[in-house]
């Protein structure tokens, strides 16, 4: 028997869980992004899986200098250690270009010269963007103009089961329309980059914020076209500010206190429906993580958290509870 034969005869291991956290470097880590980092970390590690970090800096004009390093430093301070090296989307443009050319050659994508103004009267998708009416589907209207590349979507219902949000379905053509995979300014769209990267990195489990739930059918459709496997999904509730808006750099979310990340970790755990003992809130980050790994239960994560949510750590409801847990560095 040759070495190849004996290798072939070995029992096949079940595929290993591989999760990831993929922040955009538009600002430092804050409680909202910490919830996504912690949730994806615990879901993967609790199953003995790997956890990767990818910096989604494909949209370079929005990237803030130094933010990627600051995010990585905060993760380290929280004890959220990742496997392998960090992947930067800005270094992977050739891979996105190859996928784009494949889709164009296969007749799945087409150039579109429509301007925002020309699409202003179109129906709106969930996220407020116009549902593309298909003007360039049979040929680009103005070949002389800069053009985006759109993915042609069929009139099908895409359904999947989300580990946190339950069953989700979307009629791609009616609810989203042919979507942009490379923008007219030459930047690759998030939807294409994320699918190419998850496939290249062998990601099997995607735990991330619920703001990306309605992007998931697009990504599953793209996975099918690129012959990439579809990972399992779980979309975490979003941390909101006092106005019910998603906590983000745009809403001036306070950055994590790198010198003492324990209270924010504890608050993030509570937000994820876990039940850490109150006295743990004052413990070092490593101790909180140890407890979290031993007690993690994905089924306890709520689909949404209504505002204001109560934070027993501070004895107050947010936004003060949040602000106190993730204090601004002075």
The footprint of Zn ion (CB under 5 A) covers: 112, 114, 135-136
Give 268: exposed, middle or buried? Use CB within 10 Å, 0-12, 13-18, 19+.
buried
Specify the residue, 135 or 152, whose C-beta has the smaller distance to Zn ion. 135
Specify the residue, 11 or 139, whose C-beta has the smaller distance to Zn ion. 139
Between vectors from CA 235 to CA 52 and to CA 240, what angle results, nearest 5°? Answer: 105
Give 227: exposed, middle or buried? Use CB within 10 Å, 0-12, 13-18, 19+.
exposed
Specify the residue, 114 or 149, whose C-beta has the smaller distance to Zn ion. 114
> What torsion, rounded to 10 degrees, do the Cα atoms 195, 200, 204, 210 define?
-30
Q: Among residues 108, 246, 249, 307, which one is catalytic?
A: 249
CA distances from 150 to 43, 107, 146, 185, 194 (A): 34, 11, 13, 13, 16
Contact between 185 and 141 (Cβ < 8 Å) = no
Specify the residue, 150 or 218, whose C-beta has the smaller distance to Zn ion. 150
- 180 vs 189: CA distance, rounded Å: 7
To the query of whether residue 327 is one of the catalytic residues in this protein, the response is: no
Q: How far is the CB of 130 from Zn ion (least distance, A)?
A: 11
- 163 vs 299: CA distance, rounded Å: 8
- 59 vs 199: CA distance, rounded Å: 20
Q: How far is the CB of 187 from Zn ion (least distance, A)?
A: 17
Q: How far is the CB of 160 from Zn ion (least distance, A)?
A: 29
- 42 vs 104: CA distance, rounded Å: 39
Specify the residue, 114 or 281, whose C-beta has the smaller distance to Zn ion. 114
Specify the residue, 120 or 227, whose C-beta has the smaller distance to Zn ion. 120
β-bridge mates for residue 20, sequence order: 52
- 201 vs 203: CA distance, rounded Å: 6
Specify the residue, 114 or 280, whose C-beta has the smaller distance to Zn ion. 114
Instruction: Tell me the pairing of strands 157-162 and 166-171.
Output: antiparallel
- Provide the terminal-to-terminal Cα distance of the chain, rounded to the nearest Å: 67
Q: How far is the CB of 146 from Zn ion (least distance, A)?
A: 12
Q: How far is the CB of 141 from Zn ion (least distance, A)?
A: 6
- 87 vs 58: CA distance, rounded Å: 11
Contact between 203 and 230 (Cβ < 8 Å) = no
Q: How far is the CB of 186 from Zn ion (least distance, A)?
A: 17
Q: What are phi and psi of 61, to 5 degrees?
A: -60, -25
- Please, what's the largest Cα pairwise distance for the chain? 69
Q: How far is the CB of 137 from Zn ion (least distance, A)?
A: 8
Catalytic residue set? 249
């Amino acid at each position: 028997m040759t070495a190849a034969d004996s290798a072939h005869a070995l029992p096949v291991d079940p595929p290993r869980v591989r999760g990831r956290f993929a922040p955009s470097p538009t600002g430092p880590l804050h409680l909202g992004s910490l919830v996504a980092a912690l949730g994806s970390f615990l879901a993967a590690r609790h199953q003995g899986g790997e956890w990767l970090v990818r910096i989604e800096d494909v949209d370079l004009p929005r990237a803030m200098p130094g933010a990627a390093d600051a995010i990585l430093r905060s993760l380290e301070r929280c004890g959220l250690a990742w496997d392998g090296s960090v992947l930067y989307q800005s270094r992977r443009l050739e891979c996105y270009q190859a996928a784009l050319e494949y889709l164009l050659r296969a007749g799945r994508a087409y150039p579109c010269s429509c301007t925002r103004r020309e699409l202003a009267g179109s129906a709106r998708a969930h996220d407020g963007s116009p549902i593309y009416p298909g003007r360039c589907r049979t040929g680009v209207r103005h070949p002389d103009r800069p053009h985006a590349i759109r993915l042609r979507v069929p009139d099908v219902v895409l359904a999947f089961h989300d580990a946190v949000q339950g069953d989700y379905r979307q009629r791609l053509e009616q609810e989203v329309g042919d979507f942009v995979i490379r923008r007219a300014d030459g930047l690759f769209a998030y939807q294409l980059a994320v699918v190419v990267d998850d496939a290249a990195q062998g990601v099997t489990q995607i735990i991330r914020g619920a703001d990306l739930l309605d992007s998931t059918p697009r990504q599953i459709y793209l996975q099918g076209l690129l012959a990439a496997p579809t990972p399992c999904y779980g979309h975490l509730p979003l941390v909101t500010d006092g106005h019910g808006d998603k906590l983000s750099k745009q809403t001036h979310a306070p950055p994590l206190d790198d010198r003492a990340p324990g209270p924010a970790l504890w608050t993030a755990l509570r937000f994820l429906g876990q039940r850490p003992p109150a006295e743990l809130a004052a413990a070092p980050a490593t101790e909180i993580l140890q407890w979290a790994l031993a007690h993690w239960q994905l089924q306890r994560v709520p689909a949404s958290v209504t505002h204001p949510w109560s934070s027993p750590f501070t004895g107050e409801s947010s936004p003060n509870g949040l602000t106190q847990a993730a204090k601004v560095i002075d």
